[in-house]
């Protein structure tokens, strides 16, 4: 079993130096979140993660969940860990104090979420889904619904779920068939939903399902979908738990990973119809969903960062211990720890550098989110929101691909031991693998990025971002910064070229444009990541020159930034070429003829 230690130094560095915690806590309502308080909270989270959540990660995976006549039993210790989690107030970190939340910035919540997910991704999914439900309810629920449900959900004594997918309706929600029929002040819901994370469990006395369904007179397609709150147990007027609602968990899935989290097939309304309450307006369910989508996608992107970090820690620790083969650069015939071997170093740096870049991107996007929510100046607010909208698909897809890739490399560093489940390295790969799929597959993120965030506004926000990146002009008398700066300049030109091509091509040959969508997303992630790594290196160099802090920490930051430039940013010209001259075979392919 592998230990996990929250990378508190790294987190502090990114919060303060890259994502701008200082500015965020200056926003109205966040004044109490001083850097000292934030650091204390991060450290406390790290403690709970290491002591309670991480030790359950492997046992939970091996034990998995059981279902017996609709009752789901989660693995040993998970229920108790959840009690500890909510008793610590961790479920309410980013939410309004009005309903019992801690009122901390999303930036801080993001850092803490990383820690939970590194420690135990399967566990962390329950708070994640509850968080999404809280946002929906907070933004669109009636005062009555909020009064009844919000406090308990923010406390975590009740958990929340998202019920979107049906067998024929995954990405394509227009094909959704679940029904809702008006009945007095409520609705009767019926239909089957699949892939419902924590749709049933044994942690809390009630589960609040957010369900998409169609009214009988609804228009076809996504404009005819409404959102309902459907509790497992109805709630009496005095707030006590009432009757069992007409819904049940039919089965749970046997998955590749995140086995400690039950993924339920839910059936609504097998009897008289489940009682549900409208959230938002009729037929505006999808619109409601959009309000939580950015946060949910950020959270999934963060799972990528989190698993990459966990896999990196485990691989590095193994490489520091495992003795095998002599050092090629030495005359000694003695075998050395494998961390001495350049190919192992390459693998570890590939994990570390990309994890750092993805973390910097995710945290920065969270800071933009806080700014977009709270900034008193309308223009600043709008600018930040535009950046959020642009970067969210990148955070989601680029970071989850990094998570999978890092976990995959982590297995490789372990050699044969990596393939044995007992080692725990393989679990990270199995767990990470879902993140590029759910909450909109990474392909969908790329299509969203290109279609909605680039072409529709003719690249306005990406141009503003590029301008921001160009302002990074480090002191090139330092060789590392010179190389980073040069590679970044090349990358920016490639991004501009690819953006122009996308905007030109999309209207006249949408298939050619979409054939390059994934590469475009990777290119944008690489440039933004490279920029953030460049800033890290510059700051680290300044700290070193000023003699502040731990020199090894800052030296390592420069090394990983240089690696990112030489081994990742370097790909920008090729990625650009894949986009602008790589579509021919894709649009010409005709699989149906084979």
Helical (H) or strand (E) element with 454: none
Q: Which residues contact 37 (CB under 8 A, 6 or more apart)?
A: none
CB of 263 to a copy of itself, least distance (A): 8
* Binding piece for a copy of itself, criterion CB under 8 A, among 69-77, 179-187, 294-302, 328-336: 328-336
The answer to whether 521 touches 570, Cβ cutoff 8 Å, is: no
| Minimum CB distance to a copy of itself, residue 88 (Å) | 29
The nearer residue to a copy of itself, 21 or 541, going by C-beta atoms, is 541
Q: How far is the CB of 367 from a copy of itself (least distance, A)?
A: 26
Catalytic site residue 151? no
Reduced to 3 states, what is the DSSP secondary structure of residue 260?
Answer: coil
Closest CA relative to residue 553, chosen from 537, 530, 533: 537
In this structure, is the dihedral angle defined by the CA atoms of residues 119, 121, 122 and 128, taken in order, positive or negative?
A: positive
- Which residue from 21, 107, 391, 404 is in contact with a copy of itself, where contact means CB under 8 A? 404
Closest alpha carbon to 298 in 360, 362, 358 = 362
Binding region for a copy of itself (CB under 8 A) out of 131-139, 204-212, 227-235, 334-342? 334-342
Minimum CB distance to a copy of itself, residue 41 (Å) = 24
Q: How far is the CB of 434 from a copy of itself (least distance, A)?
A: 5
| Shortest Å distance, C-beta 261 to a copy of itself | 12
Find residue 179's DSSP bridge partners.
Answer: 190, 214
Report the alpha-carbon distance of residue 544 to residue 480 in Å, rounded. 14
Q: How far is the CB of 168 from a copy of itself (least distance, A)?
A: 7
Contact call for residues 533 and 356 (beta carbons, < 8 A): yes
Q: How far apart are CA 1 and CA 415, in angstroms?
A: 16
| 190 is a site residue for a copy of itself (CB under 8 A) | no
Q: How many CB atoms lie within 10 A of CB 64?
A: 18
Region near a copy of itself per CB under 8 A, out of 88-96, 169-177, 298-306, 540-548? 169-177
Spatial CB neighbours of 20, under 8 Å, sequence gap ≥ 6: 364, 367
Stretch 200-239: interaction string toward a copy of itself, x if CB under 8 A: ---------------------x------------------
Contact (CB, 8 A) for 180 and 147: no
CB 176 within 8 A of CB 167: no
Instruction: Give the nearer residue to a copy of itself in terms of CB position, either 495 or 515.
Output: 515
Query: In what helix (H) or strand (E) does residue 268 lie, and over which residues does it extend?
Result: strand 263-268
- Count of positions (residues) in the chain: 594
**CB burial class (10 A; 0-12, 13-18, 19+) of residue 594?**
exposed
Residue 13: CB minimum distance to a copy of itself, A: 13
Contact segment (CB under 8 A) with a copy of itself among 46-54, 140-148, 289-297, 547-555 equals 547-555
- Binding to a copy of itself (CB under 8 A) within 58-117 occurs at none
Active-site choice (17, 309, 439, 538):
439
Which one of 391, 498, 517, 541 is in contact with a copy of itself (CB under 8 A)? 517
Cα separation of 543 and 461, whole Å? 32
The two most distant CA atoms of the chain are separated, in Å, by 85
Per CB under 8 A, does 476 bind a copy of itself?
no
Helix, coil or strand: residue 49: helix
454 binds a copy of itself (CB under 8 A): no
Cα 77 to chain centroid, rounded: 25
Q: In angstroms, what CA-CA distances link 211 with 157, 162, 167, 245?
A: 20, 6, 15, 14
Comparison of 385 and 536: residue with beta carbon closer to a copy of itself: 536
Does residue number 587 form part of the binding site for a copy of itself (CB under 8 A)?
Answer: yes
Q: Please work out the total of residues on this chain that contact a copy of itself, with binding judged by CB under 8 A.
A: 97
Q: Is the CB of 281 or the CB of 422 nearer to a copy of itself?
A: 422
Say whether residue 422 binds a copy of itself (CB under 8 A): yes
Applying CB under 8 A, among 277, 438, 531, 554 the residue interacting with a copy of itself is: 438
Q: Which stretch binds a copy of itself (CB under 8 A): 11-19, 125-133, 455-463, 574-582?
A: 574-582
Could you say whether residue 253 binds a copy of itself (CB under 8 A)?
Answer: yes
Distance separating alpha carbons of residues 293 and 571, to the nearest angstrom: 30
**Per CB under 8 A, 324 contacts a copy of itself:** yes
Report in angstroms how near the CB of residue 258 gets to a copy of itself at its nearest: 9
Nearest-angstrom CA–CA distance, 549 and 541 = 11
Among 257, 410, 424, 474, binds a copy of itself (CB under 8 A): 257
Chain positions 131 to 160 lying near a copy of itself, rule: CB under 8 A, are none
Binding mask 340-379 for a copy of itself (x = CB under 8 A): -xxxxxxxxx------------------------------
- Using the rule CB under 8 A, which residue among 236, 460, 476, 581 binds a copy of itself? 581
Distance of CA 398 to the CA centre of its chain: 10
Q: How far apart are CA 353 and CA 563, in angstroms?
A: 7
Q: Could you give phi then psi for residue 439, rounded to 5 degrees?
A: 60, 40
**Could you tell me the smallest distance in angstroms from the CB atom of residue 419 to a copy of itself?**
5
Stretch that binds a copy of itself, among 85-93, 374-382, 432-440, 539-547 (CB under 8 A): 432-440
**Contacting a copy of itself (CB under 8 A), which of 51, 243, 511, 545?**
511
Q: Which of residues 297-316 bind a copy of itself (CB under 8 A)?
A: 316
Which of 216, 254, 477, 547 touches a copy of itself (CB under 8 A)?
Answer: 254
**Is residue 93 a contact partner of residue 115, using CB atoms and an 8 Å limit?**
no
- Smallest separation (angstroms) from a copy of itself to the CB of 288: 21
The angle that helices 517-546 and 551-563 make with each other, rounded to 10 degrees, is: 150
| Contacting a copy of itself within 481-500 (CB under 8 A) | 483
Q: Which residues are catalytic?
A: 439
């Amino acid at each position: 079993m592998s230990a996990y230690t929250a990378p508190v130094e790294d987190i502090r560095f990114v919060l303060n130096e890259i994502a701008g915690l200082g500015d965020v806590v200056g926003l109205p309502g966040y004044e109490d979140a001083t850097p000292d308080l934030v650091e204390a909270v991060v450290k406390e989270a790290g403690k709970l993660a290491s002591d309670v959540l991480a030790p359950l990660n492997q046992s939970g995976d091996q034990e998995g969940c059981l279902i017996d006549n609709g009752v789901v039993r989660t693995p040993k210790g998970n229920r108790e860990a959840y009690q500890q989690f909510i008793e610590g107030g961790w479920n309410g970190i980013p939410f309004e104090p009005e309903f019992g939340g801690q009122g901390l910035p999303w930036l801080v919540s993001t850092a803490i979420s990383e820690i939970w997910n590194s420690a135990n991704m399967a566990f962390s999914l329950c708070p994640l889904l509850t968080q999404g439900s809280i946002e929906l309810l907070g933004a669109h629920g009636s005062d009555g619904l909020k009064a009844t449900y919000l406090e308990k959900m923010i406390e975590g004594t009740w958990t929340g779920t998202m019920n979107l997918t049906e067998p024929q309706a995954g990405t394509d929600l227009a094909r959704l068939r679940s029904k809702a029929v008006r009945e007095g002040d409520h609705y009767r819901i019926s239909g089957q939903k699949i892939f419902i994370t924590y749709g049933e469990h044994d942690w809390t006395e009630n589960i609040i399902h957010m369900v998409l369904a169609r009214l009988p007179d609804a228009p076809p397609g996504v404009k005819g979908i409404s959102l309902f709150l459907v509790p497992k147990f109805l709630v009496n007027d005095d707030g006590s738990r009432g009757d069992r609602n007409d819904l049940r968990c039919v089965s749970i899935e046997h998955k590749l990973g995140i086995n400690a989290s039950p993924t339920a097939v839910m059936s609504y309304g097998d009897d008289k119809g489940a009682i549900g309450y409208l959230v938002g307006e009729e037929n505006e369910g999808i619109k409601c969903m959009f309000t939580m989508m950015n946060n949910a996608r950020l959270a999934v992107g963060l799972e990528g960062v989190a698993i990459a970090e966990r896999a990196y820690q485990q691989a590095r620790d193994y490489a520091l211990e495992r003795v095998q083969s002599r050092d090629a650069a030495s005359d000694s015939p003695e075998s050395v720890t494998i961390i001495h071997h350049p190919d192992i170093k390459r693998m570890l740096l590939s994990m570390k550098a990309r994890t750092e870049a993805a973390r910097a991107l995710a945290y920065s996007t969270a800071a933009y989110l806080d700014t977009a929510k709270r900034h008193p100046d309308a223009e600043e607010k709008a600018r930040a929101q535009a950046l959020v909208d642009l970067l969210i698909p990148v955070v989601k897809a680029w970071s989850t691909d990094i998570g999978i890739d890092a976990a995959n490399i982590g297995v490789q560093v372990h050699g044969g031991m990596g393939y044995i489940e007992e080692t725990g390295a393989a679990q990270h790969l199995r767990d990470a693998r879902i993140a590029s799929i759910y909450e909109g597959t990474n392909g969908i993120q790329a299509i969203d990025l290109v279609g909605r965030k680039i072409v529709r506004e003719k690249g306005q926000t990406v141009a503003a971002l590029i301008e921001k990146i160009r302002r990074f002009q480090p002191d090139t008398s330092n060789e590392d910064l010179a190389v980073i700066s040069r590679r970044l300049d090349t990358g920016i030109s490639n991004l501009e070229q690819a953006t122009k091509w996308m905007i030109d091509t999309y209207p006249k040959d949408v298939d050619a444009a979409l054939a390059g969508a994934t590469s475009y997303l990777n290119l944008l992630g690489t440039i933004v990541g490279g920029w953030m790594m460049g800033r890290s290196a510059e700051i680290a160099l300044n700290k070193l020159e000023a003699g502040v802090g731990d020199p090894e920490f800052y030296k390592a930051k420069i090394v990983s930034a240089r690696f990112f430039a030489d081994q990742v940013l370097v790909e920008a010209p090729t990625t650009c070429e894949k986009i602008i001259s790589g579509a021919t075979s894709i649009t010409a392919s005709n699989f149906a003829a084979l």
